[in-house]
Amino acid sequence: MNRYTDRIRRNGVPAQLVALNAIVFIIVRVAALAGWGIDSWIALPSLPSQFIFRPWTLATYMVVHIKFFHLVFNMLWLYWFSEYFLTLGSNRQLISLYISGGVLGGAFYLAAGGLGWINGDLCGASASVLAVVVATAWRMPRFEMQLLLLGGVQLRWLAVAAVGLSLLTTLSGPNVGGGIAHLGGAVAGVAFALMWGSAKMRPSVRVKPVAKRRESVLIDRCEVADDRVVLDALLDKVRRSGYTSLTSLERKKLLELSNRL
Domain ranges, ordered by start, for the chain: 2-196, 209-260
d(CA 118, CA 177): 6
Q: What is the mean pLDDT of the chain?
A: 81
Segment among 37-41, 53-57, 196-200 with least mean pLDDT: 196-200
* CATH number belonging to domain 2-196: 1.20.1540.10
The residues that bridge with 145 in the sheet, in sequence order, are: 153
pLDDT of residue 6: 53
Band (173; pLDDT cuts 50, 70, 90) = low
CA 253, 254, 257 angle in degrees (round to 5)? 85
Q: How confident is the model at residue 124 (pLDDT cuts 50, 70, 90)?
A: very high
253 phi/psi in degrees, rounded to 5? -65, -40
Window from 4-13, 34-43, 149-158 with minimum mean pLDDT: 4-13
User: Is it the case that residue 102 has pLDDT exceeding 60?
Assistant: yes
Q: Is the pLDDT of residue 3 over 60?
A: no
The pLDDT value recorded for residue 236 is 75
Closest Cα partner for 246 from 218, 208, 206?
218
Instruction: Pick the most confident of 1-5, 65-69, 233-237.
Output: 65-69
Mean pLDDT of 10-33: 89
Cα(205)–Cα(184) distance, rounded to whole angstroms? 32
How far apart CA 226 and CA 241 sit, in angstroms, is 23
Confidence band for 243, pLDDT divided at 50, 70 and 90 = low
Instruction: Confirm if 137 and 158 have CB atoms less than 8 A apart.
Output: yes
> Considering only CA atoms, which of 54, 80, 76, 51 is closest in space to residue 65?
76
